[in-house]
Structure 1
Amino acid sequence: MSKRIQLSRAKGWRMPAGAVKVDRSTKWGNPFTVAQCREAGYRGSDEQLAARCVEAFRVWLGPMWRCNWDGAESEAARGKILDNIHELRGRDLACWCPPGSPCHADVLLEIANG
Structure 2
Amino acid sequence: MRKQGHPRVIAWANARGLLVRIDRKSPWGNDFKEGKDGTLQEVIALYAASLSGRPDLLKDLPTLRGKALMCWCAPKPCHGDALIQRLKELEPST
- TM-score under structure 1 length normalisation: 0.60
The aligned counterpart of 2:45 is 55
- Displacement over 2 Å in runs of 4+: 7-10, 13-17
Please state how far the C-alpha of 1:20 moved relative to its aligned partner: 0.9
Q: Is the 8 A contact 2:4 2:72 kept in 1?
A: no
Please state how far the C-alpha of 1:57 moved relative to its aligned partner: 0.8
Q: Percent identity?
A: 30
Count how many residue pairs are aligned between Structure 1 and Structure 2.
81
Aligned counterpart in structure 1 of residue 58 of structure 2, from 71, 78, 82: 82
Mapped to 2, the partners of 1:58 and 1:9 lie a distance apart of 24
* CA offset digits 1:1-60 (Å, max 9, x no partner): xxxxxx8468xx3622312110000000011111432xxxx5xxxxxx111100111111
Q: Is the 8 A contact 1:23 1:95 kept in 2?
A: yes
Please state how far the C-alpha of 1:80 moved relative to its aligned partner: 2.4
Question: SS where residue 93 of structure 1 aligns?
Answer: strand
Mapped to 2, the partners of 1:52 and 1:34 lie a distance apart of 8
Q: Which runs of 5+ in 1 are unaligned?
A: 1-6, 43-48, 63-74
* CA offset digits 1:38-96 (Å, max 9, x no partner): xxxx5xxxxxx11110011111124xxxxxxxxxxxx5xx2321121111012121110
Mapped to 2, the partners of 1:81 and 1:35 lie a distance apart of 25
Say what the alpha-carbon RMSD is for the aligned residues. Answer: 2.3
